[in-house]
């Protein structure tokens, strides 16, 4: 329980209150249900008593109907039998309703009730059947039997006793239901009054023990921690709820305050010691400054001499560097020119190879152009001759076709004049006409062929144009060859210029090398001066080291 938070405890408390209320409500509902069941049992007993009373009254009514005077008229007896038949049905219905509704305990207590009623019903039905089959007088004789009267008395007595017993049970059940309902009502009222009072009391006690008292104790601990210089003991630090967290925070604040107080005291002591040490160090520093001043002045003068010497040496070195750079640049230029010369030679060789290749290609193209021109000329000539011959043949064919058509027409006319004798000649004329038409069609096909020949001639013209383009390409190739040759001449000229520049660069590099040698001599002299100054500076530095060592020892002793 201590590991739960305060909110969780409050929620559990209210959950328990709700559970108690739900249990009380469930008990009240269960009590009311039991009272309702008792009331239902009382109502069932009352209904059974009513059914028993109804059965008793119907049995008595049927028994009274069967008792008719012996000298009664026949009509009256018949009316009695009819009414008796209806009363018997009513008795049977009341019996069936009562027997079906009776509990097993009452049936066991009155085992002969159903048999007696059935016997009474059978006896009464027998009276009705005798009256209907035999005569009314015979029915009166049967109804006057002593056994029937005794049976009716037993039935009435049994049903009356059963009715009284059921009425008594119904009264007892109703009284018990009232008592049960009153007890449930009283318990519900008490629960409704005690639950809020008890819940409020428990809540008050829980709040006092779990919240109010711990908060007061924590407030006391906070006031002590704010005024004390030591760590204050804070209660409830072991709790896992919000009170425990607050207690641990107060504990941490107390520890922080105590730590701060301790640190402040230590800081005061440290500041006092630091002030004393600072005073001693200031005195030592002043003395050190006085002794070191003279040494530093001498070192300054020596360093000035050394600085001048080194500055002059730096200027000379700079000149040497520039000269070296100039020489390097000249050498690089010479190398570059030499590389360009080599590249020019290589390019010249490549150009010569290209010239050879171009010359060969021009030769091949010229040869091909010559062959193509010759072939084209022969093709055009042959095609022209063929076209002329074809035209002549077509003219002949057309003439023959025309003559043949005329002959076929004349033959047809002569055959028509000859009549029956010229029929064979007419057939021949038709064949000749057919041949003439075929010749005409052949002439049209030949005309198409001539068109194809014309197209071939157009192709020949295109070939001639191609030959012209090839000749133009030959001319262009010649131009390119001339250009390449001129470029070779320019390359040869630039090669000469490059060689001249190489010689100039070589001279410049020689002069730069002379300057480098002179500067080196001057650098050697300045280096000697710098070395002497450096040796003097070393002695001063040794003295400064001794003073510094003594100063360090005094600082350590302080």
Worst-scoring range by mean pLDDT, 214-223, 365-374, 392-401? 365-374
Residue 316, pLDDT score = 61
pLDDT at 82 over 70: yes
Query: CATH code for 273-557?
Result: 1.10.287.950
pTM of the shown model: 0.33
- CB atoms under 10 Å from CB of 136, counted, come to 20
Write the DSSP assignment of 108-161 as a string of letters: HH-TTHHHHHHHHHHHHHHHHHHHHHT-HHHHHHHHT-HHHHHHHHHHHHHHHH
DSSP 419: G
pLDDT at 207 over 60: yes
Per-residue H/E/C for 353-395: HHHHHHHHHHHHHHHHHHHHHHHHHHHHHHHHHHHHHHHHHHH
Give the mean model confidence (pLDDT) for residues 452-464: 62
pLDDT at 96 over 80: yes
Q: Quick one: what percent of the chain has pLDDT higher than 70?
A: 41
- What is the chain's Cα-based Rg? 77
d(CA 552, CA 533): 28
Terminus-to-terminus CA distance in the chain, angstroms?
64
Residue 310, pLDDT score = 53
d(CA 68, CA 81): 10
Residue 273 banded pLDDT, cuts 50, 70, 90: confident
Per-residue H/E/C for 524-535: HHHHHHHHHHHH
Residue that is written with structure tokens 């059921």 in the block: 166
Q: Report yes or no: 540 and 299 within 8 Å, Cβ to Cβ.
A: yes
22-73 confidence digits (pLDDT tens): 676 776 677 667 767 777 777 777 788 888 888 888 887 777 776 656 566 7
Worst-scoring range by mean pLDDT, 3-7, 260-264, 387-391, 487-491? 487-491
Give the mean model confidence (pLDDT) for residues 537-548: 63
Q: In sequence order, what are the residues at sequence separation of 6 or more whose Cβ sits closer than 8 angstroms to the Cβ of residue 76?
A: 68
pLDDT at 286 over 60: yes
- CB atoms under 10 Å from CB of 326, counted, come to 17
Residue 255, pLDDT score = 78
Instruction: Compute CA distances 527 → 166, 489, 517, whole Å.
Output: 149, 57, 15
Give the mean model confidence (pLDDT) for residues 315-323: 59
DSSP 71: T
Residue 253 banded pLDDT, cuts 50, 70, 90: confident
Residue 76, pLDDT score = 76
Q: What per-residue string of b and e applies to 13-30 under the rule 16 or more CB within 10 Å gives b?
A: beeebeeeeeebeeebee
Q: In sequence order, what are the residues at sequence separation of 6 or more whose Cβ sits closer than 8 angstroms to the Cβ of residue 487?
A: 351
Give the mean model confidence (pLDDT) for residues 467-493: 57
Which among 524, 526, 520 has a CA at the least distance from the CA of 324? 520
Residue 263 banded pLDDT, cuts 50, 70, 90: confident
Q: At what angle do helices 74-101 and 6-66 cross, to 10 degrees?
A: 160
Residue 501, pLDDT score = 63
Please state the length of the chain: 558
Dihedral, CA atoms, 409, 410, 416, 421, nearest 10 degrees?
-120
Residue 123 banded pLDDT, cuts 50, 70, 90: confident
Write out the two tokens for 97.
């309703």
Residue 160 banded pLDDT, cuts 50, 70, 90: confident
pLDDT at 327 over 60: no
The dihedral through the CA atoms of 294, 297, 301, 304 has a sign that is positive
Residue 469 banded pLDDT, cuts 50, 70, 90: low
124-152 confidence digits (pLDDT tens): 777 777 777 766 556 555 555 556 566 67
Residue 171, pLDDT score = 79
Mean pLDDT of the chain: 68
Residue 85 banded pLDDT, cuts 50, 70, 90: confident
Residue 95, pLDDT score = 82
d(CA 139, CA 145): 10
pLDDT at 500 over 60: no
d(CA 198, CA 36): 31
């Amino acid at each position: 329980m201590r590991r739960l938070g305060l909110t969780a405890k409050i929620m559990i408390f209210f959950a328990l209150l709700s559970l108690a209320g739900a249990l009380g409500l469930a008990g009240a509902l269960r009590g009311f249900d039991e009272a309702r069941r008792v009331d239902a049992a009382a109502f069932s007993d009352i209904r059974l008593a009513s059914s028993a009373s109804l059965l008793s009254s119907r049995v008595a009514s049927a028994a009274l109907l069967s008792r008719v005077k012996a000298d009664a008229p026949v009509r009256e007896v018949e009316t009695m039998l009819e009414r008796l038949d209806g009363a018997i049905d009513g008795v049977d219905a009341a019996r069936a309703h009562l027997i079906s509704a009776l509990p097993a305990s009452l049936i066991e207590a009155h085992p002969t009730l159903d048999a007696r009623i059935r016997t009474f019903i059978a006896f009464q039905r027998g009276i009705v059947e005798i009256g209907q089959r035999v005569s009314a007088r015979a029915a009166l004789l049967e109804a006057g039997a002593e056994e029937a009267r005794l049976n009716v008395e037993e039935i009435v007595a049994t049903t009356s006793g059963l009715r009284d017993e059921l009425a008594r049970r119904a009264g007892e059940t109703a009284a018990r239901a009232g008592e049960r309902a009153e007890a449930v009502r009283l318990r519900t009222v008490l629960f409704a009054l005690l639950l809020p009072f008890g819940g409020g009391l428990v809540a008050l006690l829980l709040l006092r023990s779990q919240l109010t008292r711990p908060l007061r104790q924590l407030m006391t601990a906070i006031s002590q921690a704010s005024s004390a210089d030591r760590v204050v003991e804070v209660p409830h630090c072991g709790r896992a709820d919000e009170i425990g967290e607050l207690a641990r925070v107060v504990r941490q604040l107390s520890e922080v305050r105590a730590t701060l107080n301790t640190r402040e005291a230590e800081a005061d002591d440290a500041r006092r010691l630091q002030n004393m040490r600072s005073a001693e160090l200031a005195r030592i520093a002043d003395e050190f400054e006085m002794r070191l001043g003279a040494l530093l002045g001498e070192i300054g003068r020596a360093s000035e001499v050394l600085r001048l010497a080194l500055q002059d040496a730096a200027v000379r070195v700079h000149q040497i560097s520039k000269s070296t750079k100039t020489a390097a640049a000249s050498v690089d230029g010479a190398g570059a020119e030499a590389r360009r010369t080599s590249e020019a030679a290589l390019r010249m060789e490549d150009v010569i190879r290209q010239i050879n290749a171009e010359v060969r290609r021009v030769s091949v193209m010229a040869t091909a152009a010559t062959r193509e021109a010759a072939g084209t000329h022969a093709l055009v000539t042959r095609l022209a001759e063929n076209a002329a011959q074809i035209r002549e043949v077509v003219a002949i064919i057309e003439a023959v076709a025309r003559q043949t058509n005329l002959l076929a027409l004349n033959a047809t006319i002569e055959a028509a004049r000859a009549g029956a004798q010229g029929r064979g000649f007419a057939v021949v004329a038709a064949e000749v006409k057919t041949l003439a038409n075929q010749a005409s069609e052949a002439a049209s096909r030949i005309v198409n062929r001539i068109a194809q020949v014309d197209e071939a001639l157009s192709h020949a013209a295109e070939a001639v144009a191609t030959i012209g383009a090839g000749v133009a390409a030959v001319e262009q190739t010649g131009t390119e060859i001339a250009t390449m040759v001129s470029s070779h001449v320019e390359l040869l000229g630039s090669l000469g210029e490059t060689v001249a520049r190489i010689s100039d660069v070589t001279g410049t590099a020689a002069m730069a090398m002379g300057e480098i040698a002179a500067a080196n001599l001057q650098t050697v002299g300045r280096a000697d001066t710098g070395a002497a100054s450096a040796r003097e500076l070393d002695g001063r530095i040794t003295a400064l080291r001794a003073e510094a060592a003594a100063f360090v020892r005094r600082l350590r002793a302080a």
